[in-house]
Structure formats: C-alpha cells, structure tokens
Chain A
Amino acid sequence: MASVSVPSDGSTRGLFRRPAATTGFWSWLTTVDHKKIGILYGVTAFAFFIIGGSEALLIRLQLAQPNQELLSPSVYNEVFTMHGVTMVFLVVMPLSAAFINYLIPLMIGARDVAFPRLNAFSYWAFLFGGIFVYSSWFLGGAPNGGWFGYAPNAVLDPTRGMTFYAIGLLMTGVASTVSAVNLAVTILNMRAPGMTLFRMPVFVWMSLVVQFLLAFSLPIISVALFELLFDKRFGTHFFDSVAGGDPVLWQHLFWLFGHPEVYILVLPAMGIVSEVLPVFSRKPLFGYQFVVFSGIAIGFIGFGVWVHHMYAVGLGPIANTAFGISTIIIAVPTGVKIFNWLGTMWKGDLTFPTPMLFSIGFVSMFIIGGLSGVTHSVVPSDYQQTDTYYVVAHFHYVLFGGAIFGLFAGMFYWWPKAFGRKLSEGLGKVSFWTMLVGFNLTFGPMHILGLQGMPRRIQTYPEELGLTFYNLVSTIGAFTIALSVLLFLANVVITHRKPRGAEADPWDARTLEWLTTSPPPEHNFDEIPRVHSLDEAWHRKYAETEGGAVVPVPAGGSGVAVEHAGGHEGGHGIHLPSPSYYPLVASIGMFVLGYGVIFSWLLAGAGAVIMLAGFYGWALEPSAE
C-alpha cells in the first residue's frame, strides 16, 4: 500500500539492477507487458484446465458403473473438490483474465494497463495460489470439503486440506482483487481520445462489470476464508455450533460471493460472443445499449439472489419467496442478451468459421442452462432438485456450454492477433463438433439423473437406484470432450510449426485491436487511434450511403483512417514501463507466508519479510527508465 513516488529522471534505483531482457526466460518472469501477462494467464489456465479435466475424467470413471472402487471415498472427495476449485478459480477466472488482460488495452487504444507491475503481481499471486492449493496433494492431502467448503464439515475434517484451500484461495483472491482495481482503472481512465463509455466494445463493458463484481464480492469470500482458516488453525468458533456459532453464516458469506462469481465467470464469455457474432454476421451488435445495460443489471441483481443456493436450509417461506422472485428478475436481462444475439444474426450474412461455431454453440447451450436456471426460481421445485445432478447439469450448461464455449470462441478468434497465426479451421471445426456432442452426452443425461434421484458429491451409488445407464452415457461423453481438447492441443502444435503470416485484420473485424499488426508491437499502436464511433475499425473500412447501402472506404480516402490522436511518431520515443523483479519477489513472499501459517511461524516471518521487501523495492523503483 505504500504509495511513494520518485523523480523520473532515473537518478534513483532499486536494490537490484533493472532487468532488461525482452525475450527469453527472464523476460517472462519480469515482464510487465499486458500482452505477455495475458499469454501467461492463458497458458497457466489451460494447464490447469488439463489437470481439472483429468480430475473430471476420474470422477466420471468412478461413476460409470455402480459400486465401483476405483477411487475410495477420501480420494473421491479430494478429486471432486479439486475439480471444482480448479475449474472455477484456476481455469475460467484466469482464462477470462487472459483475454481481459490481453485485449482491454488494445480495444480501448491504450499502451498498457494503468499499473503494469501490479498486473504482473496479480498473475504471480494467482499462479502461486494455484500451486499452493495443488501442493497439498503432497503435504497431507488435498482439500476435501467441496469447492463450496461448507462449515462445519470443512472445519471438523481432521486433514489440512481445507486449510490449504482457505490460504490458496485467499492468495488468488488477493490476485483478483488487485487486478480488478487495476483493470477497472484502466478501462475508466485510459481510453483513447474519443473512446467514450458508449463507444467501448461490449467485451470491454462486460469486463468492467466483472471487475466491479470482483472488487465487491471477493472481500466477502476473503472474510469467510479467513474465518475458516482461523477456525481450523487457531480454534476460533465462527462456525462452531457447540459454542453457539451458526454454520449457516458460512453459507451466507460464501454465496454472497458465490453468486456474483457465476456472473464473473460467464460475463467475459458473453462479451466475447458479443464481439464474434457481429463480425461473422457482418452486422453490428443488435441493441448494443440493451446488451450493455442488461450486463450492468445482471451485475447489480447478481448480489441479491444468493439464497437460491440455500432454499433447503430452512430460512423460512418469506426469505425463500423473496429470493425466488429476485432469481426470476435476473432471468430477464439474461434473456434479453440471448434475443439480442439472435437479432444480430437476423438478416445477416453468416459465415461459420470456428469462432462463429463456438459462439453459436455458446448461445444454444446457454439457452438450455438459462432455462434450467429459471427452474431454480421455482422454489418448491428446487426443494427436489437442489444438491442433485440436475444442478450439476444446470451449471455445466452455464459454465461449460456457456463460459468455456465462449472462451474457445475467443481463442480461435484472437489467436491470429496474439500469435500471428490462424489456428487450423479444419481441425477447429472437428474439435467444435466433438466438443458439442461430447458436452451434451456428458451433461444432458445429468438432468435426468438428478430428477431420478442422484444426489451430488456421492462417491458411488447402488445398482437398485436405476442410475447406471445415464451415468455410463455421461462417462462416454466426458471422454469425447477430452478427445476434443486433445484435438485443440494438436491444432495449437501444428499451427505453431507453421510460419507467422496472419494479416492485421483477418476476419474483417470491427474493433480497435485489429488496427495494429498481428501480433501487436510492444507499444500496441504506433500512434494512438482517435475514436469517432462504436465499431471504429469497421467504420474506417466501410461507410453507409444515404440509401443505407454499405460501401468500402477507399484506403486513405475519407481522412478518418489516417487521423490519429498523435503524440508519438512512428513508435519512437514511446516510454513503456520497464520490466521488474519486484512483483515476482512480493508474490513469492506471500507464497512462503502461506506455508508459514500452516507449518511454522519462522517461515511465516520470512515470507512476510520477503513480501514487504518486494513491496518496498517496488515502491522505490521508478516504473520506467
């Protein structure tokens, strides 16, 4: 928090010589470039996606037949907990963060985020938080109380697993909070000249809403995790019913975070789809303002629906009614978005490259997830469905059919921008169809399983319950998804053996990031573009005549295309933030401190000292020289 500034004449230095490498190993460790950090987020999140997906396959193998003993209950509980923790905190959030980091400055015409070193710190804190949680496998057992970590079960469990969960998620929470502040400031403050709020691409808008959701929901889960940590480590009584405590307090705190979290996970994907659909429909987004406002509305209402996770707790009919109705209300802005996407495709000139396929897949799967979500507002109906596989099906339709499909659309769409190479379309289409089929085979039957009486989080089930057939179908589906992900990885490998050659604007796109080269230079734009309208890049290429027909603008003809906000000529004299060791040092300190809290106060002290040293070095170091 120390906020100290120094003259920028370079007369002062940190303790170490400044890192200078811009390529190679050290450049990645010390980078403050939002594009490199975005790629780091993406690669890390995808690695965790493979791990979390493998955990899902283990779950599906265990449940493929009744009474199997592949995973013992203790291992099964660890595996399903880590699957949830991984997919929510270490995959979808950071994968969204990858897009947000990489794209926001490009889309708003900035050279970097507001606080580049803070951005690096966010990444490292997230990475170490993830490693911290995973290291528990080797240090006495992984978290085993579910990603929702319900007290008192999480407190009473004799292993250290849930302590690792609490500390690890506190670390990723710090990462996300810091990054939320950073990116919110970036979006609000660093827009190119002319880029008013309502000329921002929808993806930027959704990212802004997400940053505020993060900033206001993470502190709540942080307090809950802190209380859990204290109960487990120091014997306090926050969730101890014997001492008069109330285990439901955890549920309130957790879901007060947990429900906004759902929108944190899905809004970036909605933003991606809102960028992709117009490009491949060759039409502007239908009802831009409605999409933006519905996103904001979802953000607000998202804080008022948390009890729909808790209808069966016994809070009484009045509370259940109130939250049933708020859940109904949040369905409206969500529905509006779907109609707007349909409106975008209406009368368009549709082509179906892979990003478009994944976006349409997103819309069609999200319709299913949204409709099964509406049934959660029908409280008595939820008395039956809560904690069954019906709910598992519902949120996978939202978070996989929704978020993951959207993120895959984004990867195929922006891959040429980030890496200068287009992913193979043929392989991409095959992996889309495999994923769509695998996804529906896996999660479709779970609706029926839940209604037919299969509770969540059970390690096995007896044959008499008659659940065998659909469980087997679901397992087959899961391996189909795995095949699709393998195809995607093969696609990446094959693509990166080919030379670069993507044009700046391979899709005939609409937003600013396509104005610069693929991949963009370190300083993003040689000259900061001046923005005149929504879909600026498109308006530089096409003009609408009086009669409504659309004609291409001859290069340089309108004068718009060459007009820039100016400031720097030809990329010379642009001051970019310099790389720094300190974000890494500070996050290593936090990492060590985390182990210290569990194992030894000496270690904790060392971690705190390293962290403080990192922050001080950072505060005293000029951001660029």
Chain B
Amino acid sequence: MRTRMRWVWAVVGLAVIAAACAPNAQQDSLNPQGPYADKVYDLFVPVFWIATAVFVVVEGLLIFFVIRYRRRKNRPAQMPPQIHGNNRLEIAWTILPALILAGVAVPTVTTIFDLAREPEGNALEVNVMGHQWWWEFDYPAEDINTANELHIPTGRPVLLTLCAVGLGYEDKPTPSDCQPGPPDGDQPAAIGDGVIHSFWVPELAGTQDVLPGQANTLLIQADRPGRYSGQCKEFCGLSHAYMKFAVVAHAPDDYEAWVRNEQADAVTPDPGSLAATGMDVFLNGQCIACHAVQGLEDANGNPVVANGGPNLTHFADRECFAGCWLPTDDAEELARWLDDPAAVKEGSWMPDYGLTPEEIDALVAYLHSLT
C-alpha cells in the first residue's frame, strides 16, 4: 500500500504545482469584482473548506483502514470479529452530516433571498436580449441600443431584464415582448423562435438563464472600472461557444461620456473616401435589411432601423464583434467575416452575400469609421 500513498502524494503535489503555474483566468468565478459576486464567493469559500475538511477526514479514514487492517504477510490469516453493525454509531453518522448540512443551509437560504432582493437606490436598467449567437443590450431610459458590450457605471447596481428572441421579430423588442401573448386572440408578441441562452459574467454575478417567452431579472454591479468577460452558458445551438460578451465598467464620468457618444448619430464619412464608398455598399446592399445605423437614411429617405442583427451605429467603438469572438480593429478578421460569416461562426444567420473584395474593403473602412 506504500505505492498507493506515493501515488496520492504525487497527484497532490502535481496539482499544487499545476495550480501555481496556471495562468490568470480571465473569466474567473473565484475573482469577484462586485457585491453580488462577493455574496456568492463569500458563501463558496466556507463551504469549500468544510467540504475539504470532510474530504480529508473521510478519505483519511479510508486510507488508514486500508493500511491498518490489511492482511500482513508475517501473520496468519485469521477471521476477524464479525461485527454486524452498531446502532449508536449509525445514528451518530446520520446526525453529524445532517448537522453540518443544516449549518450550511442557513447562510445558503439567506443568500438566496439576499440576491433576489430589489436593489436599493437608483439602479440602471438594461434590457438584455439573447440571440443566436450574440447579445443585444437596450438602455430604455438612455435610448441606447448596442451589442456584445454592456457598458455600466461603477458602484451602481444594474438591473438586467433578460429574455431570448429569435429571428423575424417586428419593431424594437423589449422584454415585455418576452411575455407570451394574451389568450384573448391577440397576435403573439413577435419575438420569433428564440432558444434558451444563459447570461454569465462570473466576476460580477452568478448565472441567469435567458428564456424565450419569459422575462428574468439579474443584478450585477462592478466596484472597479474594467473589462469583465462573459459568455452564454446554456447550450444554444451551433455557435454556442462563440456567444461571448463583455461588461465594460466605467467610472461614472466616463460612463456619462460613453452614453453621450452612443446617443449621437453615426458619423458620416467624408465624401470620396473609401468609407463613403463603403456606406454606399452598406445602403444599397442587403445590410440594412437587418442592421440599424442611427442617423442614416436609405435611398427612399427612410431611417435605417432594422434590428435582425446588431445595431452598428457605433460599431468601431466596440472592441469586439461577432458575439465578441473577434477583435473589431482587426481589418483582416472583419473582412473574413463579411466575406462568409458562416465560415467564421458556423450557423451564423448572417448570409454570405457574395461581396467582392473591393466591396468588402470599402465596408471595412466604413464600419471602422463608425466610432
């Protein structure tokens, strides 16, 4: 049995070394950065140590018994006492774990209700719509619609209302569209065929599923400015892995500046520039069937407000696109995406329109001009 012990120590040692040299994880639930994540973490840590203690005791007993009661070579095999049980012991080891667990249950229940409580003070409200496979963020009070990057001020709770939507909805959706239509014969809210997603930004809060036909809420808050990585957690089809997002927390003043920029109309490129050509491609092609650009008008003078895909008004102001999978400033990646979206993200609902390389270059220039 010495070999067994050696293995155990080897594995433990390896794990310690491995943990030490593991790089900093970017999306780490053990690195809480706001009060809601803190509450969960503060519950996780004591439970983890209790579990570790139980593990050491029970696993230790097992190993001790294996060593202590093994048949030894130098002693004749002999029938051990036939112990059938011991009621007092049985009751003890039924009650003891029950007590430990009851101890764990108390903070668990208080934290559940703590997390479900309405925030005090002035929470920022944002509607979150999960699409296959990107995130739409809608700020009703600020009249801002953006994608894949959720900008928030530090030190202020953010109340998210979440639901999943599909292709082919009308108008600008709000989470009230997530409720199924009334049974009196009205048409259903046109939300399309959404699938279930799950909103998770571990450094700021726990998970909340994002359902079609049901509006859920989640509170997040960041204490420090920074960029917090998030990801869809519920399997949602082909490009589930490519459905990331980021929460960008700004100091309150910086946040106000961001809001002002987002509220402004899109920049119009200088006439004659490559970006201006790109704008023509954008307006004359299929792009405006799905993408909105605030302040832009199509050939008939109608505003460009379609919302099957992300709102592009301030596309270049976002660090990432395509479900936050690709960096916006990488012109090559953007060109690759425009050329054949489904080759980059399998199943992408954005079709390959057969754009020429010249058109793609122009579009890249135009999109990069949308700060």
Contact = CB atoms under 8 A, between A and B. Distances in A.
Interface of A: 72-74, 77, 145-146, 150, 152-153, 156-157, 240-248, 281-284, 286-290, 312-314, 316-317, 320-321, 324-325, 328-329, 331-332, 335-336, 338-340, 342-343, 345-352, 360, 363-364, 367-368, 371-372, 374-375, 377-388, 433, 436-437, 440, 444-445, 448, 451-462, 464-470, 473, 542, 544, 548-550
Given A324-B108, A375-B51, A360 B66 contact: yes
A74 to B, nearest CB: 6
A452 B235 contact: no
Contacts of A457: 235, 240-241
Given A374-B51, A549-B79, 7 more contacts: A150-B234, A241-B213, A332-B94, A348-B80, A465-B25, A466-B26, A473-B18
B44 A367 contact: no
Contact of A339 (B93, B192, B238): B93
A241 to B, nearest CB: 3
Q: Interface centre among A241, A459, A464, by most B CB within 10 Å?
A: A241
Interface range on chain B: under 10, 10 to 19, 20 to 34, or 35 or more? 35 or more
Contacts of A313: 209, 211
A324 B105 contact: yes
Contacts, number: 325
B239 A73 contact: yes
B240 A380 contact: no
A289 B85 contact: yes
B111 interface: yes
Given A288-B84, A452-B29, A241 B180 contact: yes
A440 B11 contact: yes
B234 to A, nearest CB: 6
B214 interface: yes
A360 B62 CA distance: 8
A379 B108 contact: yes
A248 B211 contact: yes
Interface string B222-253: 00000001011111111111101000000000
Contacts of B24: 466
A321 B112 contact: yes
B231 A455 contact: yes
Contacts of B66: 345, 350, 352, 360
Interface stretch (B70-78, B294-302, B329-337): B70-78
Contacts of B353: none
Interface in B54-73: 54-55, 58-59, 61-62, 65-66, 69-71
B83 A342 contact: no
Contact of A242 (B82, B111, B192, B205): B192
Nearest to B178: A241
A387 B93 CA distance: 32
B188 interface: yes
B200 interface: yes
B26 A77 contact: no
Nearest to A449: B25
A328 B12 CA distance: 29
B347 A335 contact: no
A543 to B, nearest CB: 10
A11 B81 CA distance: 59
Interface stretch (B96-104, B134-142, B255-263, B264-272): B96-104
B59 A367 contact: yes
Contact of A453 (B70, B71, B98, B202): B202
B241 A460 contact: yes
A336 B183 CA distance: 51
Contacts of B193: 152, 156, 240-242
Contacts of A332: 94, 97-98, 101
A452 B346 contact: no
Nearest to B70: A350
B233 A455 contact: yes
A535 B10 CA distance: 40
B194 A380 contact: no
Q: Interface centre among A77, A338, A385, A455, by most B CB within 10 Å?
A: A455
